Amino acid sequence: MDPSSSEKHHRGSTSRNMSGNPTTQALARRQIKSIIISAVSPTAAMAFWPPNAPTLFSIAVDSAKRITSAPRAGGHNEALVSVVFAAASLEAFLNESVYLAENTRGAPPIVSAFAQVMADAEESKAQIQSKFQFGSLVLSGKTYEKGAAPYQDFSDLIAVRNSLMHGKSNELFLTIDGKPGGLLNPVDVIGRLTSKNILHEAQPEHQKGFVAVAGDTFTGQLVLVNDSDGISPWSSVESIRAIETSALKPRGERLLSRWTYVIGTKAVAQWACDTASRMATDLMDKAPSPLKQGMESYFRCFVMSGR
DSSP assignment of 243-300 equals: --GGG--SS-SEEEEEHHHHH-SHHHHHHHHHHHHHHHHHHHHHSPTTHHHHHHHHTH
Using 50, 70 and 90 to split pLDDT, how confident is the model at 23? low
Mean pLDDT of the chain: 74
Over the stretch 69-98, which tens digit does the pLDDT of each residue have?
999 988 899 999 999 999 999 999 999 999
Domain ranges across the chain:
54-166+269-305, 169-266
Residue pair 114/284 in contact (Cβ under 8 Å)? The answer is no
Q: Is the pLDDT of residue 28 over 60?
A: no
CB 168 within 8 A of CB 188: no
Region class of 66: left (phi > 0), else alpha (psi between -120 and 50), else beta: alpha
Q: What is the four-CA torsion angle of 182, 78, 82, 175, rounded to 10 degrees?
A: 10
Mean pLDDT of 158-181: 61
Residue 276 has pLDDT above 90, yes or no: yes
User: How long, in residues, is the chain?
Assistant: 307
Nearest to 171 by CA among 158, 155, 189: 189
**Confidence band for 24, pLDDT divided at 50, 70 and 90:** low
Q: What is the pLDDT of residues 257-270, one digit of tens each?
A: 677 888 999 999 99
**CB contact at 8 A, 218 and 245:** yes
d(CA 244, CA 195): 34
pTM of the model: 0.70
Return the sign of the alpha-carbon dihedral for residues 258, 263, 269, 273. Answer: negative
d(CA 290, CA 284): 11
How far is CA 270 from each of CA 61, 183, 273, 278, rounded to the nearest angstrom?
8, 25, 5, 12
User: What are 118-152's pLDDT values in tens digits?
Assistant: 999 999 999 999 999 999 999 999 999 999 999 99
pLDDT band at 57 (very low <50, low <70, confident <90, very high): very high
Residue 298 · residue 97 · CB < 8 Å: no
